[in-house]
């Protein structure tokens, strides 16, 4: 399979594109659709089923979502409606769009995209942590290129920060919500990275999410014993990784 459809569901935008898996590039005409109000399963899956109608019917779909995605089921719902929890999303979306579907966590999708086509591609490092900074913080952990799926390191509590978890303290959305300038927000990211480093000792952090498009504003202000790399696929990583998962069927189990 050299082409498939990738969908990346974010807190505010749903991105849908056909992806060429030889290059890891999304085709022209990526669709960006606003998240339906309330982010309820019925509304989101309906909008997505309509969005994939335009692609050739033999192409499978990878659906990357901001939840723990286990054996096709959503197990958590941090930034979407609670009624996703316990839903067999893989089966339900496949029924609606009449295609094979692989359902996976959004940060895992971004992670496999970076490792196969982006910043992690030529890395010699054994232990790599990919982080996405957006509405929340997503994490994907790799050892020798293999993913430990569904790590939820955005919810780590930081020493001395008692009112919110890691993502409540340092997600990109916090920068916007509190109108922090880049240095003030980066200080928070440093604190988060230090705690992750203290616990996991990775060789490399790859930092992604929409803010990676402005990496020059904040990455020089970061400070970590690990090597720090900006994500290469930027806002497209989730879509590309979801399409890769659909084509390889690697994440369905």
Which of residues 120 and 209 has its CB atom nearest to ligand BGC in the complex? Answer: 209
Instruction: Supply the DSSP string of 187-216, one letter for each residue.
Output: HHHHHHHHHHHHHH--SEEEEESGGGGGHH
Tokens of 59: 């192409």
Nearest distance, CB of residue 122 and ligand BGC, angstroms: 25
> Taking CA 67 as the corner, what is the angle to CA 95 and CA 247, rounded to the nearest 5 degrees?
55
CA–CA distance, 215 with 234 (Å, rounded to integer): 10
Restricted to residues 197-226, the positions that interact with ligand BGC (CB under 6 A) are none
CB of 177 closer than 8 Å to CB of 146 = no
Nearest distance, CB of residue 28 and ligand BGC, angstroms: 26
Which of residues 55 and 84 has its CB atom nearest to ligand BGC in the complex? Answer: 84
User: Is 136 a binder of ligand BGC (CB under 6 A)?
Assistant: yes
User: Is 4 a binder of ligand BGC (CB under 6 A)?
Assistant: no
Nearest distance, CB of residue 45 and ligand BGC, angstroms: 18
- Chain centroid to Cα 4, Å, comes to 18
Output the CA–CA distances (angstroms, integers) from residue 48 to 33, 58, 74, 149, 241, in the order listed. Answer: 9, 17, 17, 24, 17
Neighbouring-strand partners of residue 17: 6
Out of 18, 92, 106, 114, which residue is the one contacting ligand BGC (CB under 6 A)?
A: 106
Which of residues 76 and 212 has its CB atom nearest to ligand BGC in the complex? Answer: 76
Nearest distance, CB of residue 81 and ligand BGC, angstroms: 13
Helices vs strands, H then E, count in the chain: 8, 13
Q: Is the dihedral of CA 160, 189, 121, 253 positive or negative?
A: positive
> Taking CA 67 as the corner, what is the angle to CA 182 and CA 28, rounded to the nearest 5 degrees?
70
Which residue matches tokens 């966590």? 105
Binding residues for ligand BGC, how many (CB under 6 A)? 16
Nearest distance, CB of residue 3 and ligand BGC, angstroms: 25
Nearest distance, CB of residue 251 and ligand BGC, angstroms: 13
Restricted to residues 161-200, the positions that interact with ligand BGC (CB under 6 A) are 167
Nearest distance, CB of residue 133 and ligand BGC, angstroms: 9
Stretch that binds ligand BGC, among 46-54, 111-119, 134-142, 193-201 (CB under 6 A): 134-142
Which residues have CB under 8 Å from 146's CB, separation 6+? none
Restricted to residues 60-99, the positions that interact with ligand BGC (CB under 6 A) are 66-68, 76, 78-79
> Minimal CB distance to ligand BGC: which residue?
136
> Taking CA 185 as the corner, what is the angle to CA 106 and CA 120, rounded to the nearest 5 degrees?
40
Which of residues 137 and 226 has its CB atom nearest to ligand BGC in the complex? Answer: 137
Binding site for ligand BGC (CB under 6 A): 66-68, 76, 78-79, 105-107, 132, 134, 136, 138, 152, 154, 167
């Amino acid at each position: 399979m050299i082409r498939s459809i990738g969908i990346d569901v974010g807190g505010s935008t749903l991105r849908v594109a056909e992806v060429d898996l030889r290059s890891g590039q999304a085709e022209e005409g990526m669709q960006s659709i606003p998240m339906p109000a309330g982010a309820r399963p019925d509304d989101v899956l309906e909008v997505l089923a309509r969005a994939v109608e335009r692609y050739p019917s033999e192409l499978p779909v990878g659906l990357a979502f901001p939840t723990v995605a286990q054996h096709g089921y959503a197990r958590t719902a941090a930034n979407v409606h609670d009624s996703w929890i316990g839903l067999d999303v893989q089966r339900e979306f496949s029924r609606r769009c009449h295609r094979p579907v692989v359902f996976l966590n959004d940060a895992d999708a971004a992670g496999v995209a970076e490792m196969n086509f982006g910043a992690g591609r030529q890395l010699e490092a054994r232990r790599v942590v990919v982080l996405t900074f957006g509405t929340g913080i997503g994490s994907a952990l790799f050892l020798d290129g293999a993913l430990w799926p569904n790590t939820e390191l955005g919810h780590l509590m930081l020493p001395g920060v008692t009112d919110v978890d890691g993502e409540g303290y340092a997600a990109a959305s916090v920068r916007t919500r509190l109108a922090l300038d880049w240095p003030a927000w980066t200080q928070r990211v440093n604190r988060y990275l230090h705690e992750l480093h203290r616990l996991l000792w990775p060789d490399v952090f790859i930092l992604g999410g929409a803010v990676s498009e402005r990496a020059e504003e904040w990455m020089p202000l970061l400070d970590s014993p690990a090597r720090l790399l900006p994500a290469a696929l930027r806002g497209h990583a989730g879509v590309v990784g979801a399409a890769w998962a659909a084509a390889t069927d690697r994440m369905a189990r």
